[in-house]
Structure 1
Amino acid sequence: MPSGWSTSSFNQGGVEYGWSQARKTVSIHIDPQSPNDARWQQRVVVNPNTRYRLSGWIRVQKTTPTIDLLDVGANLSVLESLPELGSFTHTEPMLGSQGWRYRQVTFDTGERTWITIALRLGMYAGQTTGSAWFRSVQLTELE
């Protein structure tokens, strides 16, 4: 497992996690019969009341739309609620089958001194199926 990262999902089972040191990528595969919200996640220290950009590259295959509230497919997200963006801080959704696309989201940490970033397939109110790959993920403090 990549250093500092762990995996988690809303429903247990039906999820495969992978990583390739040679390609510097991690992946998530959710079985078509078991929609889910699955993620690689890492808790990171941040400066309070500071703007950050979470960015990286995502590729998806057969990622299905959901019947739930949110259709976010594969995304980069922050698990904690943030002052300006609320509970669903995430990049632009990726659904279907698409090659590598750059995604980013900018946010303010508020009073927080740490956050949990997630490389995610699905969302709290948007479980999905399919496969996603992530690479070159960065959390950058903005001036």
Structure 2
Amino acid sequence: MTRPPMTRQTTSPPRRALAPTAVLLGAAGWLAFVALTLADLAWDWPGLVSLVVLGASWFACRTVIGDIAERRADEVDEYELGQRNAARNAGYVAALGSLGVLYVLATVALRLDDRGHPELLGQLPPLVFAALLLAAATPSFLLAWQLRRRSADPDDEGEL
């Protein structure tokens, strides 16, 4: 039994209009969580609200892009595969950047702790969590931000 070839699902214009909004809300939620962590309010209600905003926007982005990250390579066309690989590379860069910033923060926190200022050291666990969220959500946010509708006719050259 052979499987029929997969056709690319086009995203409707209202869902495409949701993509930039979801990405911007997710970025705002992440930045708010980091700022609240530095203010020692990460697990109070404002920090939890920022995590809910980030989670909801991440879910919205994954819905808008059609979870192309979850599909097997033979189920996506070349255009989607290129987008997915670019988003994966961006996620890798975000993960490396987050780890570099965390290394510097941990070093500074340990130096400050040696000098009698342990405040930043206590804030490292939520900052590590924020870095993990950044690395995990970046590919979905990037794919949603770059969402383009491709013509259904393969002979057409235009990508919107």
TM-score band w.r.t. shorter chain? under 0.3
The answer to which structure, 1 or 2, has the higher relative contact order (CA under 8 A, 6+ apart) is: 1
Normalising to structure 2: TM-score of the pair?
0.22
Greater fraction helix: 2
Question: Of the two, which has the highest radius of gyration?
Answer: 2
